[in-house]
Amino acid sequence: MFNWFKTSILMAGIVALFGAIGMMIGGERGMIMALLFGGVMNVFSYWFSDKMVLRMYNAREVDATTLPYLYNLVRDLARRANLPMPKVYVIDEAQPNAFATGRNPEHAAVAATTGILQMLSERELRGVMAHELAHVKHRDILLSTISATMAGAISMLANMAIFFGGRDEQGRPANPLVGLLVALLAPLAAALIQMAISRTREYEADHGGAEISGDPNALADALEKIHYYARGIPMPSAQAHPETGQMMIMNPFSGGDITQLFSTHPSTEERVRRLRAMVRR
């Protein structure tokens, strides 16, 4: 129930941001058009955002025949978590990463890069996929997928402000700096909405994933390895869709988080510390 409340707040906040950008671009008429666009995007995101994200990364679905190693691993973890079997996807990227998506546990999917399959041991990979299934179990996946899709739409709308400029209340052209200001601040505002809930969600998924796999050290070891190697291995498809970085088990941008305030994920060191503490307890 709380996640539905968070999702509603997120949707309302982003639609309001759409309206504000529309007002800056085209006055009252622009605000109405942007609000309508934001409402349609909310509905569209609810039903189709998971397919959009998977398509962004050219993810291909696998099964027990095409990739039994990963599929059977996920199936075993889903049973342990008392979850329906999600669809399983692979992304042809060298960077080690993974994410979950979908609107609910009955329509969920988990995706892993070829890099993470090659880099992690089976034990470590179980820890990572258990983390993603914890997102599914906590119903975080709708929240993260919608926020990623809507943030991308806001960035697109903000870019329009550069070309069309701002308008005053009478619809007359305003200072051209207004359009530039909107283009810079709107994506930042969308990112802050995402970050407001993202870090707490990651801690909860770490804890839940450790319980599902029964091995907190496995996820801790995997996070340390991903953190070390991901810095030196770019993820080109993620660079084209930076708004989806908060969906990953670790943000795919090595230099994207200037300060912890603007980080979509908690520090790897703190995540590992909490997981190691679970073992000691």
Which of these, 117, 99, 57, 59, lies nearest to 248 by C-alpha position? Answer: 99
- 122 carries an active-site annotation: no
Catalytic residue, candidates 93, 124, 132, 202: 132
**Distance from C-alpha of 3 to C-alpha of 9, rounded to nearest angstrom:** 10
Torsion angle, alpha carbons of 239, 242, 246, 247, to 10: -70
| CA dist list (Å): 2 to 35, 110, 167, 208 | 25, 23, 39, 17
| CA dist list (Å): 5 to 10, 11, 41, 141 | 9, 10, 18, 14
Is the C-alpha dihedral spanning 24, 26, 32, 33 positive or negative? negative
Q: What is the DSSP letter of 80?
A: H
**Distance from C-alpha of 44 to C-alpha of 46, rounded to nearest angstrom:** 5
For the annotated catalytic residues, the residue numbers are: 132
